[in-house]
Every structure is written in C-alpha cells, then in structure tokens.
Amino acid sequence: MLEGLTARAMGALPLHAVRSDGLTAFLGDLPASVAAFLRASGFAARAGEFALLPGPDGLAGAVVGLGQEESPWAFGTLSRGLPPGTAWRLAPGPQDPAQATLGWALGAYRPHRHKAPGPSPAVLEIPAGVADAVATAEAICAARDLINAPAADLGPAELAAAAAALAARHGGSCEIVLGDSLEQGFPAVAAVGQGSPRAPRVAVLRWTGAESGPLIALCGKGVCFDTGGLDLKSAAGMLRMKKDMGGAAVVLAAAEMIMRTNLPVRLLVLVGAVENAVSGTAMRPMDVLRTRKGLKVEVGNTDAEGRLVLCDLLAFAAEQSPAMIIDCATLTGAARVALGPDLPALFSNDDALAARLLAAGRAVDDPMWRLPLHDGYDSWLDSPFADLSNVSQKPMAGAVTAALFLRRFVPAGIPWAHLDLYAWNDSTRPGRPEGGEAQCVRALHAMVAESARLNATTPAT
C-alpha cells in the first residue's frame, strides 16, 4: 500500500471539500459555532487551503478548499499537513474522489532509501472506484524512486533489471541486450557507455493487451549518471545528473499504467541504460560513431550523449512498424531555458499526434508545450567528416537541433513525438515533493487510452 493511503481506518474523520463559490452554503450547514470559527480564521476555500474543524471532544473533521479548479493538487498537502497519524475519509461533496486520492498519495511520497522516515503522514481511507488513481500514484512513485536513487545504487544493470521486473509483473517479456549483441545492434548506445566499468545495455520490453491493438513504441533515455564524458561538466552541472535516466523512468511508469489498466494495445518499451563516464576508453570529441540506422555521427560534444542513446532506440522501434513512437529524455538545458522546469518541450513530425498529446496533458493537468522542428536549422547538424554531427556549433536553439537530430532516425511515415523533460522538482509544492518527478506520465497514459478507444471505434478499411 502506498504511504498515506489505507483500505480501511477505524474512526476516520470526515474531510470536507468545498469550492469557493459554495462556501456560503457549506458554512450554513455547519453548527453555528463551527461556522463562526471558520469565518474568524479567514478560511476562503482557496485551492489547497485547509482548516481543522473543532468538535465537543476535540477534532471533528477538516475542510479543504478547491477554489474553482479540478486538480489533484488541492489535496496535495493534506497527508503532510493534517495531524500526523490521523485517519480521514472523504465526505460527500463536489470533489472528484480519484483526483483527491491521487493528490493525497503523491503528496505523501518521500524518498526513504537513505533517509529515516519522519512523522507518519495522515492517511486517507481509499474511496470506492478509484483503483486507477491508486495505480497511477503507485507508478509515479516508483518512477520517483528510480530517479531519486543515487547513481551508486542505480546503474545500467539495475535500471535494466527494473524494466525486466516490470515486464514479469504484468505478463510481458523483456530482453536485455548487452556485450557483442549491443555492439552490433545498438552501436551508438555501446559507444556512449564504453567509458564506464558498468556495462551499457538496452532493455526491450514487450507486452500485449490485445493482439489486434496498435503497436505503441516508447523509448527512454536511461543515462544513470552523466559526467559529460571528456567534455566534462562542471561540479555544479553534475549535481543532479543521477536524474539523467528520468526519461527511462517516465516510459516505464507510463508502461506500467498502460499494463495495469489493460489497454487494448501492444507495447514496445526500449530503455537505453548507460553511464557516461570519463576514462581511457571513453568516446572522444570528433570520434565518428556507427548507428543502428547506418548513419555515421561525428561527436561534436561528448556531453550530448542522450541523443546518441536515443537514435539507436528510435531506429530499432521504427523497424517494428509501430503506430507511433514516443521518446522521453532529460535531453537539453535549452528546453529548460525556453520553458522552465514545469513544461516539457514537445516536438513531433505529426500534427495529429501532437494535438492528442497536448489535449491529454490539459485534461489531466500534466501539461507540455510544443516547439517547432524548424527545417531551416537542420543544416546546423552538418559535419565535414560524417553524415551529421551530434550537436550544432551555434549557441542557439539547442532543444530544436537536438530534436532535429533525432528526427533523422525516424522514417517520415511513422508518427513520432519527442518529449524533452526535466524530471525534477526543485522545491516542494502540493503533491510534488522536492526530487525526482515523473513528468508526462499521466498525459502519455491518457493519450494512449484515447488512441486505443479511437482505434476500436474506427471501422476497418
């Protein structure tokens, strides 16, 4: 069971939710002394604002404001804000029980691998009919655990093992490609990881929810630690590089949600698990690398390794003739400069796929923002020594040129989307504690669910 949730709780206190425009009516239904207490305390039912309700024997309940939002974050501080160890149940009201459960559980999360747990959170009795919300919270918290794990604990082997364990839990299969097979089948991935004593590998997870369902390919950048290679990062630049496998954590979490909700699709999940290290065997600037597609890539910068990992995964995915390919990666600082930490950058070669992803993100409050694949910058990747360089030498549009690099490895006829994300919360906010974050997971699941629904209702031609 997730921290902060319980199946049943004896003596659980009622938790009321109220919208700001329903506050007057709510106060009118309370005992006069309790209503007077709330008025005196200044409670205005703003989103996430909460107050304890006094009773003759002490604590009679609590109330949380929803504002005018339909968001899980209104419930995101309650598990850690209400008295530790208390138990609560949702009282009838305007809230969505699934949203309330999701926000409560995500706010309760704390990493405990190397830190003693603090006070026990308040617990919420799980309402009826919210199994999908609980599954979503479990998938997101598992992804947070992966991202938060120190690189000493989570290397390429452990990340690939997480993919294999996920497949085993849901009746899928997982092949781990390494050694000579990796050198032959995923040569760019092998090159990125060749400087580390922890051998690189690719996890290939397959799952079938419906034999006739569309094949959805998810590719995740799994750089378990990124020193920058011989183009070494600064000390400050390395501080959060344990999170450079955030794209892999996101696609694994999305896959878990898809499998747990048994969507009628076929899944192909590819995780490129590597460490970009400094050693005598590390790839060098101006090395020319082979790729699975056959294109030769000059290494303009060894710190632009994520796109080298993804290019082989994209080529493999395209060979399987999927209905769509989506890759997720903590790829560029340029995307964060453009959009900040909370808005992943979306690039796509297909307007319909991009529109579905954007709509899904809005619907589940998991937003992203589309940036252009501007053809005018494609020549910035030209190299005099190879088919292309892995970086542009111009100090502009870094997120765009990274996406244009990836596009070279996806056939034009296959709908493809690239999500350049941050995978981190710089500080604690409602439902989003400081540390690793599984951005885009809920949007991806919602989009795949809608695509499966449309596929099921579209007549065969």
Positions marked catalytic:
233, 307
| DSSP-assigned states of every residue in 348-409 | ES-HHHHHHHHHHHHHTT---EE----GGGGGGG--SSSSEESS-SSSS-HHHHHHHHHHTT
Find out whether 364 and 443 touch, Cβ atoms under 8 Å.
yes
Nearest to 17 by CA among 105, 131, 94: 94
Find out whether 90 and 126 touch, Cβ atoms under 8 Å.
no
DSSP character for 243? G
Phi, psi angle pair for 158, to nearest 5°: -70, -35
Our measurement of the distance from residue 376's CA atom to the centroid of its chain's CA atoms, rounded to an integer in Å, reads 31
3-class DSSP assignment, residue 246 = helix
Residues ≥6 apart with Cβ < 8 Å to 36? none
- Termini Cα distance of the chain: 46
Q: Tell me the C-alpha to C-alpha distance, in Å, between residue 206 and each of 250, 260, 446.
A: 16, 14, 20
Alpha carbons 258 and 441: distance in angstroms, whole number: 10
Nearest to 344 by CA among 330, 356, 355, 354: 330
Alpha carbons 174 and 182: distance in angstroms, whole number: 15
3-class DSSP assignment, residue 261 = coil
Alpha carbons 34 and 49: distance in angstroms, whole number: 17
Length, in residues, of the chain:
461
Nearest to 338 by CA among 372, 364, 303: 372
Phi, psi angle pair for 258, to nearest 5°: -65, -45
Alpha carbons 373 and 422: distance in angstroms, whole number: 20
Q: What is the largest CA-CA distance in the chain?
A: 81
Write b or e for each residue in 150-172: b if 16 or more Cβ atoms lie within 10 A of its Cβ, otherwise e.
Answer: ebeebbbbebbbbbbebbeebeb
DSSP character for 19? E
